[in-house]
Amino acid sequence: MAFLEFKHISKGYPGVQALADVSFSVEKGAVHGLMGENGAGKSTLIRVLSGDQAADAGSILIDGEEQRYGSVRDAFHAGVIVIHQELQLVPELTVAENLWLGRFPAKGGVINGKTLIETVRSKLEEIGIDVDPSAKVSSLSIGARQMVEIAKAVMLDARVIALDEPTSSLSSRESEILFSLIEKLKAKGAVILYVSHRLDEIFRLCDSLTVLRDGKLAAHHPEIAGTTREQIISEMVGREISDIWGWRARPLGEMRLEAKDLSGPRLRNPISFSVRRGEILGFFGLIGAGRSEMARLLYGADARDQGQVRIDGAAVLPDDPKAAIDAGMVLCPEDRKSDGIVQGRSIEENIAISSRRHFSPFGILNPKKEAALADEFIARLRVRTPSRKQDIINLSGGNQQKVILGRWLSEQGVKVLVIDEPTRGIDVGAKSEIYDILYELAAGGMAIVVISSELPEVMGISDRIVVMCQGRVAADVARPNFDERSILTAALPDKNAAGTIQHQEHGR
């Protein structure tokens, strides 16, 4: 019998119909997959479920009772918890404070800090999450923060839990903990709405599946058994995608980027590598391997203890991102929300913000030039938006990533692109489009460094892979020698040197 029901849900925004007459149901104690391209309406549906947005039409029923939310708090009290891809924690509070926010154990109005910490510690140990409850959330890696969000849902015994790309920042060990927790919640009768672009997870975890496309119901599978990967991809994108990676050989030129003996406060072992014109170099490693630390040292976002970076033979000044940009190197960071986009600003402003200095002398803005630039890259990168004036926070993750790429491609003379987790939380169709952009840039002579925690992605698009392990280069593998088993083996740390997930803010 249906426990969670969406009936004829519609929701529109200026210039776009996000949801149009969406109806489906989920049984009690089931894990239900929700898939679709970025912009298909998944996030909007979850916002309606959580009480963050009100539907224009339609209703939601839980256990046969129609829900009428006036706020997120109303949904919370109805037993609905949503764990968004963009995490909702308070960075300056501790793990324990975040988990008890709004329901602190207190006596006479005074919070008992010791009781708070010990209660949370016991619960985290019980559910198998290795995070220090007294640590500030701001000190945690993205993966650890995700585990804290998941712990919150488990501790509240929610009736309906929506997970939006929950493993996008998790290590394989953390993912297994999550999968175990999902099974426990399912056994208790909770409905799990599982939003993911990872088909292997959908087939492993889900009992049923709904696919959205362009805000409409593209397919509903009451039982996932019997469906195929190809069928689901076709339902998502409305076309066949035979090869998501689409790698093709291209001629490589002279040496473009050289990094020698880079090290810093969070990357003690010196790192050296090089990239040729037209080459895509992939960096792979487990969480804590030092991939993002390497990128930040390379770009000058973190201070170097030692090392040198050269582009086309010319040295790049250390510890200065502006010097890196002036030399022709740009970075698309791992955390799009915090470090990539400028929230509260339009797509137009986000694209033009870096290149303004080239056409705005004396700080006088040139609205016509900015508009033309935005229109050019919206069209070139196929950004799905009703207007260049749209606030970037309203775009899907894939479209936000395209805007960040557009910002840097509008720069003059880019020679090196460093892109960290290029498709985190991005659907299969948008992934294919972003890969095509990278291939086009490489074919034009750009040197591209791709950092990813997804080994199939690194193997699928790279000409060469550098494997990192515990802050050092463990292997450098050319495409003809790619082998999943040997690359994973090189990435595994020594048994006696296993790290913790607690204090690695850029631990990728």
Pairing status of strand 191-195 against strand 160-164: parallel
Query: How many beta carbons lie within 10 A of that of residue 24, not counting itself?
Result: 23
Assigned token pair, 332: 């698309």
Q: How far is CA 293 from CA 283, 311, 331, in A?
A: 12, 19, 13
pLDDT of residue 162: 94
In a domain, 246, yes or no: no
Assigned token pair, 76: 């919370």
Please check the confidence at residue 242 and state whether its pLDDT lies above 80.
no
**377 exposure class (CB count in 10 Å sphere: 0-12, 13-18, 19+):** buried
Sheet of 57-62, strands arranged across: 16-27, 2-13, 57-62, 65-67
Q: Are residues 193 and 288 in the same domain?
A: no
pLDDT of residue 448: 97
Average pLDDT over residues 174-201: 88
Mean pLDDT for all residues in the chain: 85
Q: Are residues 186 and 220 in the same domain?
A: yes
Q: Which residue has the higher pLDDT, 221 or 344?
A: 221
Q: How far is CA 54 from CA 309, 397, 420, 456, in A?
A: 51, 22, 35, 39
Contacts of 473 (CB under 8 A, 6+ apart): 271, 272, 273, 466, 467
Q: Is residue 6 classed as helix, strand or coil in its secondary structure? A: strand
Contact 347/392 with Cβ under 8 angstroms? yes
Beta strands per DSSP E along 254-362: 255-264, 267-276, 280-284, 306-311, 314-315, 329-332
HSE-CB of 90 using CA atoms within 13 angstroms: 11
pLDDT of residue 65: 93
In a domain, 439, yes or no: no
Q: What is the CATH number of the domain that holds 104?
A: 3.40.50.300
Contacts of 49 (CB under 8 A, 6+ apart): 6, 60, 75, 80, 82, 160, 162, 193
pLDDT of residue 499: 33
In a domain, 431, yes or no: no
Q: Are residues 27 and 123 in the same domain?
A: yes
Please check the confidence at residue 383 and state whether its pLDDT lies above 90.
no
Question: pLDDT by residue (tens digit) across 391-425?
Answer: 888 887 778 888 888 888 887 789 999 999 888 76
Q: How far is CA 256 from CA 93, 226, 247, 293, 394, in A?
A: 44, 49, 21, 21, 37
Q: Are residues 165 and 262 in the same domain?
A: no
Domain count along the chain: 3
Average pLDDT over residues 222-241: 83
Q: Which residue has the higher pLDDT, 466 or 140?
A: 466
Least confident window among 98-112, 293-307, 309-323:
98-112
pLDDT of residue 262: 94
Q: Is residue 185 classed as helix, strand or coil in its secondary structure? A: helix
Assigned token pair, 130: 């290795």
Assigned token pair, 142: 């993205």
User: Which of the four pLDDT bands, split at 50, 70 and 90, describes residue 476?
Assistant: very high
Q: Are residues 114 and 131 in the same domain?
A: yes
Question: pLDDT by residue (tens digit) across 320-331?
Answer: 999 999 999 999
HSE-CB of 381 using CA atoms within 13 angstroms: 30
Please check the confidence at residue 4 and state whether its pLDDT lies above 60.
yes
Overall pTM surpassing 0.85 (yes/no): no
What is the domain extent for residue 183? 2-237
pLDDT of residue 502: 28
Contact 126/180 with Cβ under 8 angstroms? no
Q: Are residues 122 and 155 in the same domain?
A: yes
Please check the confidence at residue 294 and state whether its pLDDT lies above 90.
yes
In a domain, 508, yes or no: no
Pairing status of strand 472-478 against strand 464-469: antiparallel
In a domain, 245, yes or no: no
pLDDT of residue 103: 62
Contacts of 77 (CB under 8 A, 6+ apart): none
In which element (H, E) is residue 175 found?
helix 172-187
Q: Are residues 405 and 451 in the same domain?
A: no
Q: Are residues 100 and 170 in the same domain?
A: yes
Q: Are residues 284 and 405 in the same domain?
A: no
Q: Which residue has the higher pLDDT, 339 or 302?
A: 302
Residue-by-residue DSSP string for 26-95 = EETT-EEEEE--TTSSHHHHHHHHHTSS--SEEEEEETTEEE--SSHHHHHHTTEEEE-SS----TTSBH
Q: Which residue has the higher pLDDT, 117 or 24?
A: 24
Q: Are residues 167 and 294 in the same domain?
A: no
Question: pLDDT by residue (tens digit) across 79-135?
Answer: 898 888 666 788 888 888 888 776 655 555 556 677 778 888 888 888 778 889 889
Cα separation, 399 vs 75, in Å, equals 29
Q: Are residues 47 and 71 in the same domain?
A: yes
Average pLDDT over residues 369-390: 87
In a domain, 503, yes or no: no
Q: Are residues 148 and 128 in the same domain?
A: yes
In a domain, 40, yes or no: yes
Average pLDDT over residues 465-477: 93
Question: pLDDT by residue (tens digit) across 152-163?
Answer: 777 777 899 999
Least confident window among 39-53, 376-390, 442-456, 485-499:
485-499
Please check the confidence at residue 356 and state whether its pLDDT lies above 70.
yes
Please check the confidence at residue 48 and state whether its pLDDT lies above 60.
yes
Sheet of 464-469, strands arranged across: 329-332, 416-420, 447-451, 280-284, 464-469, 472-478
In a domain, 500, yes or no: no
